[in-house]
Chain A
């Protein structure tokens, strides 16, 4: 049981390059999330998927796209990377539905855009 996995762990891009961050969970969770963490700002939600087949914008969606490929996988794409997107990216998942469901986090991806 690996929980939430993210690839890659580290990435360096040049301005204008594109890349996709991959996330997968093996807990049969309905909901998945992408956050970014910048120094002094805590984690901020980029996009989330409440259930398979749905995606919604979070607090900071500009410059990103997401795909809920299936129940297990939720990818984050940067079409044209900018230095302002240098950050640590976290994927998370939770059971969804009513009531309390703990949100489990992946180990994070450190992205640097030069």
Chain B
């Protein structure tokens, strides 16, 4: 079974600075998807970014980018120019590509605080 680990329960950063959230995972599969989700106080789960394992290029979405290290099974999220609206819980998640097994496996989450 796949597992996802986020070793940083809490992180804080100054507004406009850059912060990196860590995630490691364990799987025996060679192809899969990885995701970062944001959960603000409203509880709504919002997809931030995704990475396909077969792609060597790291995904980017505006101020959000990932560092995907497949051999090390590491998938970190970098947030540049942090904004107050980035304050939230962030979850790393894994999804198999096997048909019929599209369920997500989540890490424990990292609470990100933005200091003005």
Q: Determine whether B16 belongs to the interface, using a CB cutoff of 8 Å to chain A.
A: no
For B106, the closest partner residue in chain A by CB is A42
Closest to B9 in A: A40
B103 adjacent to A58 (CB under 8 Å): yes
Bitwise interface map of A from 33 to 44 toward B, beta carbon under 8 Å scored 1, else 0: 101000011111
**Within the complex, which residue of A31, A35, A42, A43 is in contact with B102, where a contact is CB–CB below 8 Å?**
A31
CA distance in complex: A42, B102 (Å): 17
Contact B45 A90, beta carbon cutoff 8 Å: yes
Total number of residue pairs linking A and B with CB closer than 8 Å = 53
CB distance from A96 to the nearest CB of B (A): 7
User: SS class of chain B's interface: helix, strand, loop or mixed?
Assistant: loop
Q: In the bound complex, how far is the Cα of B102 from the Cα of A96, in angstroms?
A: 7
Q: Which of B43, B103, B107, B109 gathers the greatest number of chain A CB atoms within 10 Å?
A: B103
Check A105 against B45 for contact (C-beta < 8 Å). Answer: yes
Q: Is there an interface contact between B91 and A43, defined as CB atoms closer than 8 Å? A: yes
0/1 string, A56-81, CB within 8 A of B gives 1? 00100000000000000000000000
Q: What's the Cα separation between A101 and B42 when bound, in Å?
A: 24
- Residues of chain B within 8 A (CB-CB) of A94 are 102
Residues of A close to B6: CB separation below 8 A? 42
Q: Does B56 contact A (CB under 8 A)?
A: no
Residues of B within 8 A of A (CB): 4, 6, 9, 33, 42-45, 47, 50, 52, 91, 95, 99-100, 102-109
